[in-house]
Amino acid sequence: MQEPIKASVCDEIATLLFDRPKAYNAFDLETITILAEHLFNLAVDDTVRGVIISGVGTTFCSGGDLKWVKSLPEGYPAALHHLAGRLHQAVLEIRRMKKPVVAAINGVAAGAGFSLALACDFRVMAKSAVMRQAYTYYGLTIDGGGTFTLPRLVGLARAMEIAAFDRLITAEQALEWGLVTKIVEDGRALEEALTMTEELTQGSLNSFGHSKRLMTDSFSNSFETHLELERDALCSCAGHPDAEEGMTAFADKRKPVFDMTPGFRK
């Protein structure tokens, strides 16, 4: 039986693809559970330096599979409780992972697919791809961390506009609003995401991991608390071999070359 998530690792970069093209890469409980498990394992895999999430075919992810939701005898609330729970596990793994996670938005990213893309660290979007939150139009509310990430990416007023009107967001609009990092020609989203991830993983993953955690937690901490967390993180980084190499390279007026040995850059 074909797995609904196609997973592969090449040159220490993992790629996770939604592989349900006939369902527009919508996920049922099995699919989102498998995605969360892959992310959990990749987070602690010392041989993997970065992760890319995308979809097979012409869709990134169209969100939760409503056919599956309707088929559950317990009813809609129970079905969405299960789906949202697994989706949130996946999102937490992305946000807590000390490695860069890049979304290659090759086509439609809607519903939970929209929220999942926003949870990633960076987003590459195909020129003809579109985004849509696709919750409120159907009487639901956004999950997958979307109501947390969206106002932080675009501001509260724009986030409310996206939530209230639920219009399609083009690639050009997404770039202008700060929802995506880069637009590429159709068919090149995955390729560009790989190039971006390779560039990111040439730097210090220790530094990236600390910076990512600080940014994620910055909205829930007081200023004084966050200053202390910054100082702790700075000192922790200073004690890591990456910082020794970085500061030596600065003094020598050369580009730092960080150790790529698996397990070294924790």
Q: Smallest Cα–Cα separation from 133: which of 159, 107, 152, 156?
A: 159
Separation CA 68–CA 31 (nearest Å): 11
Average pLDDT per consecutive 10 residues, the chain (266 residues; last block may be shorter)? 92 97 96 98 95 97 94 91 96 96 98 98 98 95 96 96 97 98 98 97 92 91 94 94 91 89 57
Residue 131's φ and ψ, nearest 5 degrees, are: -120, 150
**Can you say whether the dihedral through the CA atoms of 247, 209, 230, 175 is positive or negative?**
positive
- Neighbouring CB atoms inside 10 A of 170's CB total 16
End-to-end CA gap in the chain: 36
pLDDT at 96: 95
pLDDT at 265: 46
pLDDT at 263: 57
- CB burial of residue 183 (10 Å; 0-12, 13-18, 19+): buried
Structural domains of the chain ordered from first start: 5-200 (3.90.226.10), 205-252 (1.10.12)
- pTM for the model stands at 0.94
pLDDT at 259: 84
Look at residue 143 and give its three-state secondary structure: coil
The Cβ-side half-sphere exposure at 74, using a 13 Å CA radius, reads: 8
Residue 100's φ and ψ, nearest 5 degrees, are: -70, 140
